[in-house]
Structure 1
Amino acid sequence: MVVDTVREEQAIRQMTERLVENYTETYSPEHIESTVGAARQKFAGHPVRQFVPILIERVVRRELEKSPEAEVQPATVPMDKAPKPSASPSGTLSRLRDLWSSKRRFAPYAVGAVVILTVIAVVLAVRQPGPEAPAAAPAPVAPLTVVRGAVGSEKMPFFQDQKVIDALARGGVRVEVEPAGSRQIATSVDLAKFDFAFPSSEQAAERIQRQRNVTAKYTPFSSPMAVATFAPITDLLTRAGAVRPGPVPTLDLRRYLELVRNGTRWDELPDNTAYPVRKNILISTTDPRSSNSAAMYLAAASYAANNNTIVQGQPAEQAVLPAVSRLFVGQGYTENTTEGPFNNYLATGMGPTPMAWIYEAQYVEALMRGQIKPGMTLVYPSPTVLSRHTLVPFGETGDRLGRLLSTDPELQRLAAEHGFRTNDGAQFAKVAAERNAPVAADLLDVVATPTYDTLEHLLEGVTKTYN
């Protein structure tokens, strides 16, 4: 008897584990264990135990699958008045209970009857199909298509977001990305191993298209260029006539270029007690030879240096080069991606990085992460330029990703949560309002960048001044 009890306990434990595994998406383990316990009570005291675990499992499955078939209740009528056994498993079980609840003269034959009826019940339960039959196994899930690409570093947090990964998986793809400066992607990165390139501007994308002889492109989101700075710096530049205060302060690039051209130092500004540092007034940028954000800085500055006119033609290019070159060569060492100057801004504060040229999206995302400290602020250059993040596909898989990023509502919403402006302006406005982000609702002073060839000429001219 002890051996049988041990075997029964072991069988019920294994059966319970199996039920938990089968129904874990519908019921908690505690609920399933409770249902097993309740079913087990219905067979308490029965001397024939061989088939009890099987019968318990059938009762529990009916309960968990919410079969319309009524749950078996203990018999309450005398044996000689009870209905005859039915051909169904539930009828057989009811008859079994009737036999054991009877106190009449048929008691000597009860044990034998129970054995017979138990066997019949098990056979019928196995042979007769019913609503409690196990559900068919789910259809196999198609494997995800792996899509590899080189992307501007400012988009890495977006592609590393688990919600973005899940949304892409629902679209059937798994994206593997490597970060690089956008101009690096267009000039020095080996793109042969990738399915797409995703720089941060149309100019870099156009260069890639020319090199790879590709006409397709997608622009799922964009971001205006901005300056991450600090309230004391904004106050100083306001008094110097370079910043126009307002709900969203703006940096007058023409006045700023005058300060740079004159070699003005911070400690030379009047009434400067907040930042009396003996170094020139300069915005920290990336390396224009490798980074798109620096190229966008050059595009906006060249417009201001050219009397608020888009640079066009060699004479205009040569006229603005001396002014715009000073913006870069005076900085010393610069990094290849915007992560560098912006991370310095976040980590080290006003001392080494009083102003950093960044994508607006970087500031909004840092705000959402709680990385923006009191005193940090965002200023928009006037004029500014819009960086249009442009994906260039190299085949069907890259094209599939471009379509997903551009049209999938969930991915567009997640892009807005990462600070990017999507085709639906309401999405970005909602995120900005929820985070109380100090961003411009409407971009008014935005100018077009020079043509691809003109911008390349300007970048080549700046590059020569480094040597």
Structure 2
Amino acid sequence: MVVDTVREEQAIRQMTERLVENFGGTYSPEYIEEVVGAARRRFAGHPVRTFIPILVERYVRRQLAAAGEVADASSGPDTARTRRARHKAESGDRRLPAAVRETWSANKRFAPAAVAAVVAALVVVTVVTVALAVRQPNSAPQAAGPGVSSLALVRGVVGSEKMSFFQDPKVAEVLARNGVKVEVDAAGSREIATSVDLGKYEFAFPSSEQAAERIQRQRNVNAKYIPFSSPMAIATFKPIADLLAKSGVVHQGPVPTFDMAPYLRMVGNNTRWDQLGDNTAYSVRKNVLISTTDPRSSNSAAMYLAIAGYVANNNTIVQGTSAEQDVIPTVSRLFVGQGYTQNSSEGPFDAYLAAGMGPTPLVWIYESQFVDATVRGQVKPDMTLLYPSPTILSRHTLVPLGEEGDRIGRLLSTDPDLQRLAAEHGFRTGDATQFAKVTTEHNIPVASDLIDVITTPTFDTLERLLDGVGKSYN
């Protein structure tokens, strides 16, 4: 119960930070925190805590967005500054929007059945918008280069694991030299392919070819670009790796591997950490499970599902109704036992970096995230990277939705400076020497040659597996 409370507090804190980032131009941070607190208090004492952060975030987003729209409509051509001042004044008066007061009235309570219905409706999660500012060079503008006013604004939606790349001022500078300014929103790759409104974007950049192919079919687009890729990996800690090595799950070496077959047997037997032999490093009473994102929205978790399905299907790619139905009970256990899961790969990895091995001993990530964090000095000495055996290669695929989106795809794929910067952010590009140079300079033990790599099932097969896992949550 203590661990669950810690995870809920962590999720609420991260969610509040996202809301402040998204709505900070309209509301003060104090006001947003007050709305979150009011929403959360209505769930005090509720025995089922797993989806509380999702419920709170969804309702708060709706109320803040609705109140903002009302303010815009009633005040005419208002500005962000005046709206911020007005709502900050209201927050000082400790008042909540009428819509919030009505929703969370003391006369209204959520019955368990109602909570379940709301949870089922929250599969699609709000896209987080992040505007990326282009940093101008410190020197005076060059006559030959484009001025800020001449930059073409190009909007895209990308997987969250690529946000640090697009937020890099050096990346923005290279794009500016080519006459463009890029603004991106972050969303889970499966969301990008299934529920995000792509009509307002010039490009979509999910983390898998399967999601990209679905977008291509839906939008009748033939072109695609694969500027870089990243294998799936597991972030853990050296004491955890040593402990699992004694159980035959981890195989030590210059680049340690994580054997998925004995791990699946552990999960099937509901093995707890404190049941592992000679365990003095992490003797806690919770099941051995890798922390992932939500498979219903995130590509990284879908890749985890693809690998687990392959191993559960006698090391064969899952294909056909019979095989799908056979593996769903096994792979579902990997997810439903985790409780609350976040919607993009950035969340669990940030928790890994900040919270230590207590709540997150094993985290499913992209290799690029670990390399990127090491380059930025965020990885501590006892943190280590494991490669699942087998693993899978996530090929980040950009689908242009317009002429400017096609321009971005070409730049990311061919511009030598952007390719070099992608390697600095941990991605493997077409030039293997760039990635090798980064990992060598920072002494990061990575697999130079990926051998035990499987092919992902088709998008439709993966969708049916994900649907089967989703039903297991209910």
TM-score between both structures, scaled by the size of structure 2: 0.69
Q: Contact (CA 8 Å) 2:317, 2:455: kept in 1 or not? A: yes
Which of the numbers 407, 410, 422 marks the counterpart of 1:415?
422
In the alignment, does 2:294 pair up with 1:284? no
In the alignment, does 2:311 pair up with 1:304? yes
**SS at structure 2 position matched to 1:275:** coil
CA deviation after TM superposition for structure 1 residue 141, in Å: 3.5
The code of the aligned residue for 1:257 comes to L
**SS at structure 2 position matched to 1:381:** strand
In the alignment, does 2:172 pair up with 1:165? yes
* Rounded Cα–Cα distance in structure 1 between residues aligned with 2:225 and 2:146: 29
| Aligned twin of 2:463 | 456
The code of the aligned residue for 1:238 comes to A
Post-superposition Cα deviations, 1:48-94, rounded to whole Å, max 9, x if no partner, equal: xxxxxxxxxxxxxxxxxxxxxxxxxxxxxxxxxxxxxxxxxxxxxxx
* Rounded Cα–Cα distance in structure 2 between residues aligned with 1:380 and 1:317: 25
1:53-92 to 2 correspondences below 5 Å: none
| Aligned twin of 1:31 | none
* Rounded Cα–Cα distance in structure 2 between residues aligned with 1:254 and 1:464: 24
1:8-87 to 2 correspondences below 5 Å: none
Unaligned runs of 5+ in 1: 1-136
The code of the aligned residue for 1:240 comes to S
* Rounded Cα–Cα distance in structure 2 between residues aligned with 1:380 and 1:400: 34
| Aligned twin of 1:295 | 302
The code of the aligned residue for 1:380 comes to Y
Which of the numbers 187, 197, 200 marks the counterpart of 2:194?
187
* Rounded Cα–Cα distance in structure 2 between residues aligned with 1:384 and 1:236: 21
CA deviation after TM superposition for structure 1 residue 138, in Å: 4.4
* Rounded Cα–Cα distance in structure 2 between residues aligned with 1:175 and 1:140: 17
| Aligned twin of 2:397 | 390
Post-superposition Cα deviations, 1:279-332, rounded to whole Å, max 9, x if no partner, equal: 000000000000000000001111111111111111111111111000000100
Aligned residue-pair number: 331
The code of the aligned residue for 2:213 comes to E
| More displaced 10-residue stretch of structure 1: 254-263 or 186-195 | 186-195
| Aligned twin of 2:153 | 146
* Rounded Cα–Cα distance in structure 2 between residues aligned with 1:415 and 1:311: 32
**SS at structure 2 position matched to 1:385:** strand
CA deviation after TM superposition for structure 1 residue 146, in Å: 1.1
The code of the aligned residue for 2:308 comes to A
Which of the numbers 316, 326, 343 marks the counterpart of 1:319?
326
Which of the numbers 329, 338, 345 marks the counterpart of 1:331?
338
| Aligned twin of 1:126 | none
Which of the numbers 202, 207, 225 marks the counterpart of 1:218?
225
Extract structure 1 runs of 4+ deviating beyond 6 A.
none
Which of the numbers 238, 243, 254 marks the counterpart of 1:231?
238
* Rounded Cα–Cα distance in structure 1 between residues aligned with 2:144 and 2:275: 73
Alpha-carbon distance change, 245 to 168 in structure 1, aligned in 2, over 3 angstroms: same
* Structure of larger gyration radius: 1
The code of the aligned residue for 1:264 comes to T
TM-score between both structures, scaled by the size of structure 1: 0.70
Post-superposition Cα deviations, 1:240-270, rounded to whole Å, max 9, x if no partner, equal: 0111111011000011000000000000000
In the alignment, does 2:460 pair up with 1:426? no
Alpha-carbon distance change, 464 to 144 in structure 1, aligned in 2, over 3 angstroms: same
| Aligned twin of 1:242 | 249
| Aligned twin of 2:411 | 404
CA deviation after TM superposition for structure 1 residue 185, in Å: 1.2
Which of the numbers 262, 266, 272 marks the counterpart of 2:273?
266
The code of the aligned residue for 2:159 comes to G
CA deviation after TM superposition for structure 1 residue 409, in Å: 0.9
* Rounded Cα–Cα distance in structure 2 between residues aligned with 1:454 and 1:370: 39
